[in-house]
Amino acid sequence: MSDPQLTGEDYGSVKDERDLGVRPLTLSSDTFRALAHQLANFSADYLQALPQLPSYPQISGRESEELFGGEVPWQGTGADAFESLPKVFEASRPASPRFFGYVFGSGEPIGSLGNFAASVLHQNATAWRSGPAAITIERTVVRWLASVIGCEGFSGSLTVGGSSANLMGLCMAREAKAPANYSGVQGGVIYCSTEAHMSIPKAAALLGLGHDAVRLIAVDDAFRMRIDDLRQQIMRDLQNGKLPIAVVASAGTTATGSIDPMPEIADVCREFGLWLHVDGAYGALASLAIPDAFQGMERADSVSLDPHKWLYQPAGCGCLLYRNSSDARKAFGHSGEYACVLSEDPIEGFAFFEESIELSRPFRALALWLSLRFHGFEAFRESIREDLRLAELLASLIDAEPRLERLAPVALSAVNFRYVGCEDPHGFNRSILRRVNQRGRVYISNAEIRGNFALRACIVNHRSTEDDVRCIVSEVLATAEDLKQAIALGGKY
């Protein structure tokens, strides 16, 4: 591909206005327009070229430091600063249709335009009085999200991602079941499966409960939490004088996409009076396509989900939903006099900072609002269904290939497998992973499945096609054969 160029020939020259007697940082509308047009053209060319780009950049750590390290820029360079932007794009992992490395969406372009508009508008989406449109749009988007996943009536807010949403959800749980905001943490226990996301023990540490307060419950053959083990662990903790607080049910684990039995977990939570938090950062939005797989999610006290995963939004768009906004205000409602909301009007007096850990908040909702209205939820439903179908296709291709072994069921779109025609599956598959990604035709990641090193492909990509998915298998097999030949000639992994 020829590199997209940042040129302004069609829109007038970019002027250097630093010596025109105006305040520093002032930019004329003509200069902004010229730069914006150039950037729009550059971005459109880049998006058009995505299918042909390598799935990962050929760059070393040292090379990235040489390109972007630099000294403090005390004197600006004006529009010349943009000349380095093509190098930034070249040294970045592209949102390629053949990127299957993580549970990470593919960056839907309307959302990108929305982020651009939001940055120009520059709102503090913290209270209605500071951003009437921003707050109304965010509350609207949150209401839509709650409705489409079956949690009608839930409130919530957009967050930077699933980890912060999980932290906030568990903070609400702690304050509801073992209040600590005024007198400090007095203990408490959280339960999740051995497959739960790393953000759960991290949240326990940040909340003052500690990693030791997290009970990791065993999973069954489908990597779903064992209900009998959960109940037994809760009873054991009660007998030992511990204070159970919450159970975290996974609606799509990171490694395998498994979905915990939420109706049964909800029954246990009701039995023992515990908070139910559903970590749906990966999977909750798949309920648009396969709602029956997520029965019981509507019984949660709080749910995390990530529009930047399965609504394909630009990174930095998570969400926390909760049943009762009073629980959020109990956990987060501590404001200085300078921030007090004086209006009694339920709309004009609303403040996200009373229900969130954030005070200064970007206008995250604009990108999602535009994207949802541009495409409609039905288009996203169809794209999720296609991701799920492609995952099943990949599983069938692996099952049909005797040199490959699938290591876990495919509950959503994460497919775990390994090459088996070798003496050292662990070391050999590690080498396959490294070499596949270096080749740049497809990008996959890894997981540990019951002690086995697994190659892992996760399909959360609105650009991916059948040919892209078939490339995973062909690249792994071709790389394995190259490795075998190298070893036969006396080489190493």
Confidence of residue 13 (pLDDT cuts 50, 70, 90): low
What's 4's DSSP letter?
P
Mean pLDDT in residue range 208-237: 98
- What is d(CA 98, CA 100) in angstroms, rounded to the nearest whole number? 6
- pLDDT value of residue 1: 37
Phi-psi category of 427—alpha, beta or left, where left has phi over 0 and alpha has psi -120 to 50? alpha
Mean pLDDT in residue range 157-179: 97
CB count within 10 Å of CB 146 equals 22
Query: Alpha carbon of 76 to those of 17, 63, 189, 210, 236: distances in Å?
Result: 11, 24, 53, 47, 64
CB count within 10 Å of CB 228 equals 11
Lowest mean pLDDT among 327-341, 403-417, 470-484: 327-341
- pLDDT value of residue 156: 98
- pLDDT value of residue 126: 95
- What is d(CA 408, CA 257) in angstroms, rounded to the nearest whole number? 10
Q: What is the pLDDT of residues 379-404, one digit of tens each?
A: 999 999 999 999 999 999 999 999 99
**What is the residue-averaged pLDDT of the chain?**
93
Confidence of residue 422 (pLDDT cuts 50, 70, 90): confident
Q: Where are the beta strands (DSSP E) in 367-451?
A: 404-406, 414-419, 445-449
Confidence of residue 421 (pLDDT cuts 50, 70, 90): confident
**Residue 3 pLDDT greater than 80, yes or no:** no
Q: Where are the beta strands (DSSP E) in 194-270?
A: 214-217, 244-250
Whether the CB-CB separation of 460 and 104 falls below 8 Å is answered with: yes
- pLDDT value of residue 100: 96
- CA terminus-to-terminus distance, the chain: 32
Closest CA to 138 of 163, 156, 121, 150: 156
Q: Pick 16 or 41 by higher pLDDT.
A: 41
Structure tokens at 300: 């949660």
Q: What is the pLDDT of residues 98-123, one digit of tens each?
A: 999 989 999 999 999 999 999 999 99
Give the three-state DSSP class for 219.
strand
Structure tokens at 302: 């709080």
- What is d(CA 328, CA 117) in angstroms, rounded to the nearest whole number? 30
- pLDDT value of residue 334: 77
Q: Pick 338 or 291 by higher pLDDT.
A: 291
Q: What is the pLDDT of residues 242-275, one digit of tens each?
A: 999 999 999 999 999 999 999 999 999 999 999 9
Domain ranges across the chain = 1-88, 111-375, 378-488
Whether the CB-CB separation of 463 and 99 falls below 8 Å is answered with: no
- pLDDT value of residue 344: 81
Q: Where are the beta strands (DSSP E) in 122-236?
A: 155-159, 189-193, 214-217
CB count within 10 Å of CB 378 equals 9
Partners of residue 224 on adjacent β-strands: none
In the chain, the amino acid numbered 227 is I
Mean pLDDT in residue range 146-171: 98
Q: What is the pLDDT of residues 68-94, one digit of tens each?
A: 999 999 999 999 999 999 999 999 999
Whether the CB-CB separation of 55 and 98 falls below 8 Å is answered with: yes
Partners of residue 99 on adjacent β-strands: 443
pTM score, whole prediction: 0.94
Q: CATH 3.30.450.70: does it fit domain 378-488?
A: no
- pLDDT value of residue 420: 96
- pLDDT value of residue 423: 85
- pLDDT value of residue 341: 65
- pLDDT value of residue 247: 98
Query: Alpha carbon of 302 to those of 129, 166, 230, 276, 329: distances in Å?
Result: 27, 9, 19, 7, 14
> Under CATH, what is the fold of the domain 111-375?
Aspartate Aminotransferase; domain 2 (3.40.640)
Q: What is the pLDDT of residues 423-438, one digit of tens each?
A: 899 999 999 999 999 9
- pLDDT value of residue 2: 44
CB count within 10 Å of CB 235 equals 12
318-322/302-305 β-pairing: antiparallel
- pLDDT value of residue 19: 55
Closest CA to 164 of 358, 365, 366: 358
- What is d(CA 99, CA 219) in angstroms, rounded to the nearest whole number? 29
